[in-house]
Amino acid sequence: MIDINAIKQEYEDILTQLSDPELISNREKFENLLKKRDYFEKIIEKEKEIKDLEQKIQENKEILSTEKDPELLSLAEAEIKIFAEKEKNSKKELETLLKKEESFSSNFVLQNFSGESVIVEIRAGTGGEEASLFAGDLFRMYLKYATIQSWKQKILDSRPTELSGFKEITFELKNGNVFSKMQHEGGVHRVQRIPATEKSGRIHTSTATVAILPKPKKAQIKINPRDLKIDFYGASGPGGQYLQKRHTAVRITHLPTGIVVTSQTERNQIQNKENAISILEARLLKRKEMAEFEKLSEKRKTQIGWAKRAEKIRTYNFPQDRVTDHRIKKSWHNIEDIMEGRLEPIIKALQSL
């Protein structure tokens, strides 16, 4: 459960920011703070309403324990039932508000993001080669979903394995309400199935991590060329063989942060460099938004949705033909259809949070 006291503190911080006369010059930030304030007020008012009802219930219980007048006792019992029902409904309403709070905070810190383009990073987790195969399956699932949504797709970097899997793959999805639909896909995805390489028929459990990185607007992230260390090297494929004799692959190190990005999917240095810069900008935006969010909500330390790499969010159980999202405790069958990109029922269920 989210700490109400921390929300109250953040609410007070917002009121302090809104009292700054210079804030009005930043209209976008001002309007977002107003929305955040109004939202927190609903939570605070609902909590006060619950406490008032609890107090009224307690007062009537005291009447039951001290009074002897039958009429007063009957009235107290009736009021306890009425107030208890109201308390139950109010707690449900508060729970709904609190469930939406993290998503609201995510949208709040991403106020400068248009939502039309995201960079998706998929990495093989635990499970060896099977984890790499699963990373490849997730990649193809998202590409098929993107095709259904008529989004444009572009691979920015990849590290394929010999069995058509990926140790890591990074790609861009754009031209549509991409972030709105993809924002809840970040986290640890788990698969339970019998791998093609398993001779004994034993079910294996493997994982892959997905990160959803909003792509910054132009000029939102400014990179000083002097802060970059750029290296070119030979593009390699499974087994480490050189695919090209020319050094077209690009590695960029952002010296101030130590962030390292690579790209080797294109046939020339310029395109690979552009891809690497796009990845770097997205990671710098994520870093910036996380810093701003933690500053705004320092006491809660709540991570925004697309940054939750450590959280197991979903299990793909092939033997039971079931996909389960652990955040909403809901399952879907027809796993083969889901892996073919028919994700819309899952996406809609998460959007309704």
Q: What angle do CA 239, 243, 249 make, to 5 degrees?
A: 100
Q: What is the pTM of this model?
A: 0.60
CA distance linking residue 60 with residue 205, whole number of Å: 55
Burial tier of 238 (Cβ tally within 10 Å: 0-12, 13-18, 19+): middle
Beta strands in the chain (DSSP E): 117-124, 152-160, 166-174, 187-193, 204-214, 228-233, 249-254, 259-263, 312-317, 322-325, 330-333
Out of 12-26, 121-135, 170-184, 286-300, pick the least confident.
286-300
Pair of tokens at residue 76: 């107290």
- Distance set, CA 256 to CA 253, 274, 293 (Å): 9, 20, 21
Predicted confidence at residue 308, as pLDDT, reads 39
The mean predicted confidence, pLDDT, of the chain is 83
Q: Average pLDDT in the 47-72 region?
A: 90
pLDDT of residue 248: 85
User: In whole angstroms, what is the distance from residue 348 CA to residue 139 CA?
Assistant: 20
Closest CA relative to residue 189, chosen from 105, 133, 106, 261: 133
CATH 3.30.70.1660 fits 119-353, yes or no: yes
